[in-house]
Structure 1
Amino acid sequence: MLSRSGRRPLWLFGVCVLAGGALLGTWLLASRSGSAVSAVGQEHARTGAQLLPESAIRGSGPVTAYLPFVARNYDGEPSIFGVEIEVGVVSATVSQAQQAGVSWVRYNGLLWSEVEAEPEIRDWSKVASFEQEIRLLSERGLTPVVVVRSAPQWAQKVEGTFCGPIREDALDEFASFMGEVVARYSGPPYNVKYWELGNEPDVDPVLVPPDNVFGCWGDEADTYYGGEYYGQMLKRAYGPIKEADPSARVVLGGLLLVCDPTGPNPAPGTDGCRPAKFLEGVLRAGGGAAFDILAYHAYTQWVAGYPDRDWDLTQGHWEHRGGALLGKLDYVREVMARYGVSKPVLMNEGGLICNASDSNPSDCLLEEFRSAQSSHLIKLYARAWANGLIGSAWYTLNGPGWRQGGLLDENQDPRDPYYALSFMAHLLETSHYSRQLASGTFEGYAFADPVARREYRVYWTNNGSKVFLPLPAGTVAVYSRYGQDITPAGGSVSVGSKPVFVEMTGP
């Protein structure tokens, strides 16, 4: 999502539940509008209570000086690491994106209504700034995911609603438009291969402003919330896109997925969580054959006073499935399997945002919040990678960001979580996911680097506890979230809610 306008109904945010079951609260939307990693506050290994067996860990090697690079998986595909950069700030932030080592950059977006204000008359000069920004991303070796949205007035099924569905008799013209878009921008100097059709389409037009940057193909009166009609649009557009560029990949508009219709806690005012039936509608209409990648969003909210809390795992409407990131992933895979569909999945908008009350906005500037973001970021990318997502995009790179979620500040200078991203992306530059090491309240993952002959492990606890992790022979170093060497003098390291990395010699 870009700069958010208006106010969302309560169910669009959901709730977070505190430990012990106390309700944290439902909240409304306000406007949402390298080099070696420097030290970000000294992080020391913390003492713990539980001693783990030596078999819980093996070993690794030194980290070299870092130069700007574009992250790729060891097989040459874009890496797990992505961000979104808002329209108009690419030139101010593209260097930070490159230096951080990200691969994906989501860009929202290209507006049909700007190019084709009148039917069959396309004025590409209206999107000159779009062309400039996408060209810049491509020149830096970044992989853009471009959102295409906004129906012109003459093509609107819901009159006056730019974010809403396209009239049936205008679908072929939209398909023709998409064919020309892909033909124009799939090759040099733009090199766009990923096209996302809409942004959070599973929202009804009555719930958002008519020119909103997210939504709004939803239909509250429909059993499948408008998903079948969106599926019809996909089927019209898919052919012309592939004809223009057979290597293009059509991305299902990133789903909000406000709650789980099969879960115990449907969001209030959603008629049993009907919005989440949108995906099923798409598949019922045969839309599964008309997209290549399924995308969804996974935000989590923070409040002060809970420094060791895992905010993702306790996201109210998805806690029963494993949290916002993995719970939603489990749900979309379950729905696809029911219809015999199997697609790669991309989490292309997520992060930890500040839920401070209007009377206490300074909470969003607390060091506690930045520390929580740093931990959340590492967990998000590690879990996404370990669970087979093809990418994960933090919203946003540029700052200050919606609800202070940006990795950069208002001057586009790095905040603490930016350094956490930079360290993790560089450390794992040529690695692939190996295996899960621990689950439950103590969580850990291993990543193997066949180039450096190293294994990198990341560990943390999810309940505020601390454990002692023995370091066997072969351990080279232990690092904080920001890359500081915190290798203990003794034979074990204390692990708590702040993730630690262990570098080890590999096979």
Structure 2
Amino acid sequence: MLMTAVMLIGTFLLSPFLGKSNPVTASPAIASSGPFTIYLPLVMRNFPLQTVFGAEMAQLTSGGGLDQMAAANTSWTRRNAVLWSSVESAEGTYDWSAMAGLESELQNASSKGIRVILIVRSTPQWARKIAGSGASCGPISQGKLPAFGSFMRALVARYSVSPYNVKYWELWNEPDIDSSYFPGDNIYGCWGDQNDAYYGGGYYTEMLKAAYPQIKAADPQAQVLVGGLLLDCDPRPGAGCAIVGHDSKPAKFLEGVLRHNGLNDGGNYFDGVSFHAYDSYQGQSGQYGSPNWQSAWNTTGPVLIAKTQFIQSLLDQYSVSGKFLMNTESAVLCDSCSNDSTFETTKAYYVAQAYAAAIAQGLRANLWYSVLGWRNSDLLNGDLSPRPAYTAFQFARSELRDAAFTGDITGSDIGGVTGVKGYKLNRGDRRIWVLWSLDGASHSITLSSLPLTTWDALGNSVTPAVSMNVSLNPLYLEWNP
């Protein structure tokens, strides 16, 4: 008796940890009917996995590290590549040939199951708020906002479907920067206005108001992001901006978006907030910080925690709910650390800490910036060989996957020991703790039960024990659910 079973499951990146499916046995009644084909649905929990793990690439090609990031099962990438000024240099005429190179890249990413966050920027000369002199990275004139809405509708209609499958749209990059700082075309957003109490955030909302309904009309599943906010410093009284002596006005841009010139309806015109969170290396193993946010390795952990909590507090203040947050640029940076082995080790430890913290903070995505590096943040060398941070990224992704945060690790969980930071996570098939020394000392902790397995940040096996030493090198501890 011949039976052919065909499973139509699409093309996805399969996790090596997925269990085997159960065999299917035909009933006697069916078996007696002769040769046939069965189409079986394949049901798996949250398949394909969507995780917080992502990284930005300068190009979504093999030369840009796409194959290595696919091998690490990254869920997200980001591309700063749609220039409105190139596609619609003349009002009302779209030249899609300007997108030819990007189209190939989007197909590359989609074929590997990686979601692309696509940035749209660069205002055409005919649409600039300051005609003839405004930077192309700057705002759109009021009368041309409908034209931008029409462009976004056409753009989303074209690229939200196969073979591109783009669902996340970020409108300008770091718009909370004043165009006077960066004249001409550049990768920044430049919607900042030093003459406005909220740095131009309210006018940026006018753009969102014009674009959002057009995007949703083209693709109801599209997700619109407030452009990746720089958030230079904490603008609250007596906080980071005041402490380091920076102007607090730029960091009020998001509040300006929400309050929308006093209408308080800004939350109606976006789905999520994208922001950027960098720490700076402090010259010694495991040490980093962000004075602008009063955040450091030995107090709070990665600065993404402080920024996430600040953004969430603003959303709460304006009664805006149901929005997701994404840290679309994350790294620890050092300008003078080329091939510095201590920095490379610190960067690997930071990867483990940052992605665990991103899960704990409820981020939808956390994207490393970048695969081939900026200010020595590289995950890969120029020849695409892995740096320790790539190994840490790959292992963190395989270990944490789509784990959910269940609580912070406290002293009572580890025998009363202080000076340790960590998170309790649930992966479904395992309970996982991620923990590390917060003060740099080695701490001997006592657990209530023996872990099944223990790993360090680079995926090296550590002998499980009820009493263990915790250092700057983060540990992953696993138990049965």
TM-score normalised by the chain length of structure 1: 0.79
Residue of structure 2 in register with 1:347 after alignment: 327
Map 1:399-410 → 2, pairs under 5 A: 399=372, 401-410=373-382
1:455 Cα shift? 1.6
2:14, 2:48 within 8 Å by CA — same for their partners in 1? no
Number of aligned residues = 427
User: CA 1:473/1:337 → structure 2, altered by over 3 Å: closer, same or farther?
Assistant: closer
Residue of structure 2 in register with 1:187 after alignment: 161
1:434 Cα shift? 2.6
Q: Does 1:308 align with 2:280?
A: no
Residue of structure 2 in register with 1:244 after alignment: 218
Map 1:148-227 → 2, pairs under 5 A: 148-158=120-130, 159-227=133-201
1:268 Cα shift? 8.9
Q: Does 1:375 align with 2:349?
A: yes
1:78, 1:143 within 8 Å by CA — same for their partners in 2? no
Map 1:70-109 → 2, pairs under 5 A: 74=46, 78-87=50-59, 89=61, 92-109=64-81
User: CA 1:91/1:173 → structure 2, altered by over 3 Å: closer, same or farther?
Assistant: farther
1:146 Cα shift? 0.5
Q: Greater CA deviation, 343-352 or 317-326?
A: 317-326
User: CA 1:211/1:283 → structure 2, altered by over 3 Å: closer, same or farther?
Assistant: same
Residue of structure 1 in register with 2:10 after alignment: none
User: CA 1:258/1:73 → structure 2, altered by over 3 Å: closer, same or farther?
Assistant: farther
Residue of structure 1 in register with 2:389 after alignment: 417
User: CA 1:468/1:64 → structure 2, altered by over 3 Å: closer, same or farther?
Assistant: farther
Counterpart CA distance in 2 for 1:501 and 1:232 is 46
Counterpart CA distance in 1 for 2:456 and 2:243 is 41
Residue of structure 1 in register with 2:26 after alignment: none
**Alignment equivalent of 1:335, drawn from 314, 326, 343:** 314
2:244, 2:292 within 8 Å by CA — same for their partners in 1? no
| RMSD (Å) for aligned C-alpha atoms | 2.5
1:449 Cα shift? 2.6
Paired-residue identity, %: 37
**Alignment equivalent of 1:449, drawn from 409, 414, 427:** 427
Letter in 1 for 2:129: K
1:86 Cα shift? 1.2
Unaligned runs of 5+ in 2: 1-12, 20-43, 412-417
Map 1:427-442 → 2, pairs under 5 A: 427-438=399-410, 441-442=419-420
Q: Secondary structure at the match of 1:365?
A: coil
Map 1:131-150 → 2, pairs under 5 A: 131-150=103-122
1:87, 1:108 within 8 Å by CA — same for their partners in 2? no
Map 1:265-284 → 2, pairs under 5 A: 265-266=240-241, 272-284=247-259
Q: Secondary structure at the match of 2:338?
A: helix
Q: Secondary structure at the match of 1:266?
A: helix
Q: Does 1:296 align with 2:275?
A: yes
Q: Does 1:501 align with 2:480?
A: no
Residue of structure 1 in register with 2:32 after alignment: none
**Alignment equivalent of 2:458, drawn from 462, 479, 482:** 482
Letter in 2 for 1:239: P
TM-score normalised by the chain length of structure 2: 0.83
Counterpart CA distance in 1 for 2:460 and 2:99 is 44
1:472 Cα shift? 5.1
1:111, 1:149 within 8 Å by CA — same for their partners in 2? yes
Counterpart CA distance in 2 for 1:265 and 1:472 is 40
User: CA 1:80/1:483 → structure 2, altered by over 3 Å: closer, same or farther?
Assistant: same
1:84 Cα shift? 0.8
Q: Secondary structure at the match of 2:165?
A: coil
1:134, 1:144 within 8 Å by CA — same for their partners in 2? yes
1:124 Cα shift? 0.2
1:215 Cα shift? 2.4
Letter in 1 for 2:111: E
Counterpart CA distance in 2 for 1:173 and 1:434 is 46
Counterpart CA distance in 2 for 1:140 and 1:99 is 9
User: CA 1:136/1:473 → structure 2, altered by over 3 Å: closer, same or farther?
Assistant: same
Q: Which has the higher contact order (CA 8 A, sep 6+)?
A: 1
Counterpart CA distance in 1 for 2:278 and 2:432 is 27
Counterpart CA distance in 1 for 2:306 and 2:396 is 24
**Alignment equivalent of 1:234, drawn from 208, 212, 218:** 208
Letter in 2 for 1:174: F
Q: Secondary structure at the match of 2:409?
A: strand
1:258, 1:267 within 8 Å by CA — same for their partners in 2? no
2:57, 2:64 within 8 Å by CA — same for their partners in 1? no
Counterpart CA distance in 2 for 1:205 and 1:282 is 18
User: CA 1:437/1:341 → structure 2, altered by over 3 Å: closer, same or farther?
Assistant: same
Q: Greater CA deviation, 436-445 or 167-176?
A: 436-445
Please say which structure displays the higher CA radius of gyration. Answer: 2
